[in-house]
Amino acid sequence: MTERYVYCNGRAHERTVSVSTNKQLSSQAAMKPQSVTNRHMNWLIHGLYTRKHFEQCKKLIDRQLGICYDKQYLYYMKGLILREENNSTEAVHCFQQAIALNKKEPENYKELAKTLYSMGKFRNALEVFLKAETLLERPDHEIYHHIGELYYKNFGQPKAGVGEAKEYLKQAVTCGKHVESYKILAEIYIEEGDSIKAIEMIENCLQITQDDVSLMTQIGILYLKINEYQRAFEKLLDATATDSKHTSALLALGSILQSKNDIDGALNKYKRISNLTDESSEVWSNIGLCFFKKQKFIAAISCLRKATWVSPLNFNALYNLGLVLVTAQQYVSAFQTLAAAITLRPEHAECYMLLGTCLRHLNDPGNAYLSLEKSTMLPDAVKNPLIYLNFALYCYEVGKSDQSVLYLSNFLDMTQHITVHREYLKMADRLNGALAVAAAGQIHAPTAPDTGGHTGGLDRTEKDHRMQDETVVNMSSGGLADTRNEGAVEEDGSDGDLP
């Protein structure tokens, strides 16, 4: 027997009856709702689905499949319900049946592709999304977004990649403001090194989700990259105001304060990190450098050793530990630490410079000379004029005046473009005067006496793509001048390991 569905708008259909008709039958007929057979109950199915009455909805769909000619919509809705219930395999089967009934409907292909995506079948999902795109009559954000995301994750053809992903994601955001599309575009621009475009994408995200702490932190770090310190500081303050214990925001904010020599303020931010005891080595490295600035060498060494223990392959932590050990005149430990750092980065000129300083104080002048000479031959040497000044000093100390003149000239040329502390300029003038006297033949360049092994240097901030780590370049005193650690930090604007 065919199922019959009775529905009523609340008002009974009134029949016109004659006075002679039985009043009781007339009253019953008036109160009884009119019974109507309806083969198309799509409106009711949709209503039950939106109210998440899935069991009733599935029963109604199963009944309708036996009497309704519009089975494509029924299979489509059943697939949506099964996917909501985590029955993806049956959902795929339903969407395939819907496609078989109507091969020109892009919604069927889109939902099938979304189901395959949720099952982790990304290549199959991409193929179905591309098929759905060919059937579109008007732009669809979801299809463009998923195609762009899958191309970005390299699930497309070999010729497709980031360029294709960017184009599809741009089409997606033109259909409307959607956070996920903006986020992936920002990631692409960050990988390409275009911080301005990445900031623009994240600003669009923040217009939609104004309280997203992770986005506030990320945009603050990007502002650091382009040297917009004030705006970076404001964004990071907003992030900590929203979540006072957000690790990444506190770490970035502490790094900025540390770069501005507000050591107590930086330490206060680091103390607020809730999981400090289990935090990454970058946090401990920065804390160690704060204690180093306060001339608390034992505390600095302890924190930096903790950093290297947490991450033995963290180059910055090893380099900073070697630097503090040289400053604390623990040359054997410094030599071992710097040797490990050089193993990780054989092209790092400043490591060889510090290693040469250690070898000089360990009474190995031959290897000290080779190490300092190698530091001037590496590509990184052009970024730090003190490497040339160090080697010029050591050449004068060992009696090689000609080489000393050459490298001192290189140092003076670099100071025309790179700012250095005035104390190093005074030291260069004194060395120049001593070399002039030696060249005049009045005296021979003597071996400079050891002034107690003190090393001084220029403080600056150096961060790789993993973390902001302060790098202090020490130079040998050489007997010409006793240089002191001035404690000045210069921010270079890279974000390092700050999310």
More confident call, 156 vs 123: 123
Contact by Cβ (8 Å): 216, 239 = yes
Q: Give the pairing of strands 455-464 and 467-476.
A: antiparallel
pLDDT of residue 279: 60
Using the predicted structure, report yes or no on whether residue 487 has a pLDDT greater than 80.
no
Of the candidates 204, 262, 257, 208, which has an alpha carbon nearest to the alpha carbon of residue 232?
Answer: 257
Using the predicted structure, report yes or no on whether residue 307 has a pLDDT greater than 60.
yes
Q: Which two tokens stand for residue 101?
A: 């009934």
Using the predicted structure, report yes or no on whether residue 486 has a pLDDT greater than 70.
no
Residues in the chain: 499
Lowest-confidence pick of 151-165, 228-242, 258-272: 151-165
Region class of 341: left (phi > 0), else alpha (psi between -120 and 50), else beta: alpha
Domains and CATH numbers, the chain: 42-137 (1.25.40.10), 162-206+224-235 (no CATH), 346-438 (1.25.40.10)
Contact by Cβ (8 Å): 178, 172 = yes
pLDDT of residue 470: 33
pLDDT of residue 6: 38
- Per residue in 163-193, pLDDT (tens digit) is 888 899 999 988 877 889 999 999 999 998 8
Using the predicted structure, report yes or no on whether residue 20 has a pLDDT greater than 80.
no
Calpha distance 170→181 (Å, rounded): 8
Using the predicted structure, report yes or no on whether residue 301 has a pLDDT greater than 90.
yes
Calpha distance 174→360 (Å, rounded): 64
pTM: 0.66
What single letter denotes the amino acid at residue 119? M
Using the predicted structure, report yes or no on whether residue 32 has a pLDDT greater than 50.
no
pLDDT of residue 114: 93
pLDDT band at 159 (very low <50, low <70, confident <90, very high): low
**String of DSSP letters for 84-149:** HTT-HHHHHHHHHHHHHH-TT-HHHHHHHHHHHHHTT-HHHHHHHHHHHHHT-SS--HHHHHHHHH
- % of residues, the chain, pLDDT over 70: 78
- Report phi then psi at 425, rounded to 5: -65, -40
Calpha distance 461→254 (Å, rounded): 13
pLDDT band at 325 (very low <50, low <70, confident <90, very high): very high
Lowest-confidence pick of 153-167, 193-207, 299-313: 153-167
Q: Which two tokens stand for residue 405?
A: 């003149």
More confident call, 447 vs 387: 387
Chain mean pLDDT for the chain: 79
- Per residue in 85-137, pLDDT (tens digit) is 999 999 999 999 999 998 999 999 999 999 999 998 999 999 999 999 999 88
pLDDT of residue 281: 82
Q: Give the contacts of 494 (CB within 8 A, at least 6 positions apart).
A: 224, 225, 463, 464, 465, 468
- % of residues, the chain, pLDDT over 90: 38
- Report phi then psi at 447, rounded to 5: -80, 120
Using the predicted structure, report yes or no on whether residue 430 has a pLDDT greater than 60.
yes
Lowest-confidence pick of 30-39, 64-73, 85-94, 176-185: 30-39
Using the predicted structure, report yes or no on whether residue 204 has a pLDDT greater than 60.
yes
Q: Give the contacts of 265 (CB within 8 A, at least 6 positions apart).
A: 254, 257
pLDDT band at 158 (very low <50, low <70, confident <90, very high): low
Of the candidates 453, 448, 452, which has an alpha carbon nearest to the alpha carbon of residue 480?
Answer: 448
More confident call, 112 vs 456: 112
- Per residue in 258-295, pLDDT (tens digit) is 888 899 999 998 888 877 666 678 889 999 999 999 99
Using the predicted structure, report yes or no on whether residue 461 has a pLDDT greater than 50.
no
In a 13 Å sphere around the CA of 358, the CA atoms on its Cβ side amount to 23
Q: What is the mean pLDDT of residues 418-434?
A: 87
More confident call, 386 vs 463: 386
More confident call, 291 vs 20: 291
Of the candidates 182, 175, 119, which has an alpha carbon nearest to the alpha carbon of residue 143?
Answer: 175
pLDDT of residue 335: 94
Contact by Cβ (8 Å): 143, 132 = yes
- The label of the residue with tokens 């680091």 reads 270
